[in-house]
Amino acid sequence: MKSKSAAMAIMGICTLYFLVPIWWLFVGATKSRSDFGNTAPLWFAHFNLGSNLSELFHYRDGVFLRWMLNSILYTGGAALLGTVLAAMCGYALAKYNFPGREAIFNIVLGGVLVPATALALPLFLIFSQLNATNTFWSVFLPSLVNPFGVYLARIYATASVPDELLEAARLDGSGEVRTFFTVSTKLMFPALVTIFLFHFVAVWNNFLLPLIMLGNERLFPVTLGLYSWNTQVNQLPQLRMLVLTGALVSIIPLVVAFLFLQRFWRSGLGSGAVK
Amino acid sequence: MTRKKPVSAILFFVLPFGLLFIAFYLAPIGYAIKQSLYKVTRTGTFGPAHEVFGGFEQYRRVFQNGPFWESVGRVLLFGVVQVPVMLGLALVLALLLDSGLVKGRAFFRLAFFVPYAVPGVVAAIMWGFLYSPNLSPFTAVTKTWDLLSADLVLWAMANVVTWVYVGYNMLIIYSALLAIPQEVYEAAKLDGAGPIRTAWSIKIPLVMPAIVLTTVFSIIGTLQLLAEPQVFRTFSSAVSSTYTPNLTVYSTSSIPNFNLAAAFSVVLALATCLLSFTFLKITQRGGEK
């Protein structure tokens, strides 16, 4: 009995630690600028969320909405395409025996250890020689590559796609590519969701690449946009409420994605670590 | 039945990723190495700049750069404290969730995971406000300790990183715990092992691969610290433009001195790989005993 209450107490304290800052952000975003400084930080004052949101979305021709859409495009597009590419490569490494297979796998695995920030600067230099910095593609294309996804896809394909099934599909006259897209991807689906989510979060959080590549604020993802506003708070104090409200809004897509996809990915998450 | 190797199918599967990997991973690494071996010289003070081969001159400058090595020491100190705290907490929470002592598991799992949905930059901005004495809801704390002062700001950042990533690491360890077959526990019960004994002697060794994986990712993450210090520069004058190695690379490239910045990047990438790899080797040897 004693250990049960101790366990619940630890859980309760940790819940406070993780959720109070989010609660504070939510409460803060519902306040007017003067209430924000003068009223209890963890409880509501005059409910001003609607006008904060409207100010957020109208400020400077609605640039914030643009940032959110950019983030969704960069992240959703890169994660979707990147997952398919990583799955194809990992699947081939798992299911076909060909010369150079282990070499390719080891190089890709080495890629997992290379910090993404070490790549950002040389990528910037290469893109600037091609006059391609400050474009959508300069952030989007590098975001497609996900070596960890290849690693996970290989493990999952080995574990969940039986050779006998592929043999049977071949006897039925199905081509290799068609078999992959109709049979194998179904078996790998929980894994694909996991890879997608990892990739999504990595790109959504990527800060250095857009910071280095982009100068035009219409191309910013929401993280870079909020960062740029936050650096101006000292000169333009009215931006503080916009930064807070914007921070709250920026969290929503990921929370929705997690809630929406959690029944698929929970089962797959551990396998990459256990094998 | 002999079958031709489906060469075209293999190429179809491997090439798209392979080409992008070459273009956006291997090529930049090669380019950075090449850049780091060059230097810019000028004819006269204001003459046109041109790049000439400089051998290891940039690396000599990297190794003589005091602030850079200070920043390396700073993130190592950060990592030595923050990574064990974060993973220890993640492990304890995962074991508690798995122990049957806790009601409402689905709620706690979600509650601990929510911060992971907050991008690093946004988390740093939020906590920056929470630490600011005149805005913080915790004025009792922030009036006693100035969390944004030179002494404490590193640990203020460690808290932000911990807050964001505990739930993620917990979930990886918890998923590994769920994958342990029930028979193992029955055997332990027959041997008379209590819950703590079971956790220590059975669960933790069995989820060691998951802990190793999260540790490697945390090491890589620590050496990459950028968003948090970059954001905290707007809240605290204690964070300099060379506070972490990545900030040094960033500020060197915006001077701009690309050759030196490239050398910094190469040294940093090598250090990260070496640390992660060494850790993997040490833990693997430990596992073979």
Which amino acid makes up residue B279?
Answer: F
Number of neighbouring beta carbons within 10 Å of residue B189 = 11
Residue from B8, B125, B215, B222 whose CB has the most chain A CBs within 10 Å, to mutate = B125
Residue-wise pLDDT for A29-65, tens only, equals: 999 888 888 888 889 988 989 999 999 999 999 999 9
Comparing alpha-carbon positions, the chain A residue that sits nearest to B253 is A121
Out of A14, A123, A258, closest to residue B28 by CB? A123
Out of B13, B25, B116, closest to residue A114 by CB? B25
Q: What is the pLDDT along chain B (289 residues), one digit of tens a residue?
A: 345 578 999 999 999 999 999 999 999 999 999 999 999 887 777 777 888 898 899 999 999 999 999 999 999 999 999 999 999 999 999 999 998 889 999 899 889 999 998 999 999 999 999 998 877 888 778 888 888 899 999 999 999 999 999 999 999 899 889 888 888 888 888 888 888 888 988 999 999 989 998 999 999 899 889 999 999 999 999 999 999 999 999 999 888 899 999 999 999 999 998 998 899 888 877 654 4
- From A61's Cα to the closest Cα of chain B, the distance in A is 22
At how many degrees (to 10) do helices A2-29 and B105-113 cross? 40
Which residues of chain B have a CB within 8 Å of the CB of A224? 121
Report residue A266's pLDDT band, with 50, 70 and 90 as the boundaries: low
Which residues of chain A have a CB within 8 Å of the CB of B25? 111, 114, 119, 145, 147
Indicate the burial class of A230 (C-beta count within 10 angstroms; 0-12, 13-18, 19 or more): buried
Give the pLDDT score at B284: 77
Which residues of chain B have a CB within 8 Å of the CB of A170? 3
Which residues of chain B have a CB within 8 Å of the CB of A119? 24-25, 28-29
- From A89's Cα to the closest Cα of chain B, the distance in A is 5
Give the pLDDT score at B108: 94
User: How many CB pairs (< 8 A) connect A and B?
Assistant: 261
B53 beta partners: B38
Tell whether B4 is within 8 A of chain A (Cβ): no
Give the pLDDT score at A243: 96
Which residues of chain A have a CB within 8 Å of the CB of B244? none
DSSP string for residues in chain B:
------HHHHHHHHHHHHHHHIIIIIHHHHHHHHHHTEEEEESSSSSPEEEEE-TTHHHHHHHH-HHHHHHHHHHHHHHHHHHHHHHHHHHHHHHHHHTT--S-HHHHHHHHHGGGGS-HHHHHHHHHHHHSTTT-S-HHHHHHS-TTSTTTHHHHHHHHHHHHHHHHHHHHHHHHHHTS-HHHHHHHHHTT--HHHHIIIIIHHHTHHHHHHHHHHHHHHHHT--HHHHHHTTT-TTS-TTSSHHHHHHHHHTTT-HHHHHHHHHHHHHHHHHHHHHHHHHHHHHHH-
Residues with Cβ within 8 Å of residue B36, at least 6 apart in sequence: B58, B59, B259, B262, B263, B265, B266
Residue-wise pLDDT for A103-155, tens only, equals: 999 999 889 888 888 899 899 999 999 999 999 999 999 999 999 999 999 99
Query: Does residue A272 have a pLDDT over 80?
Result: no
Give the pLDDT score at A268: 53
Give the pLDDT score at B267: 94
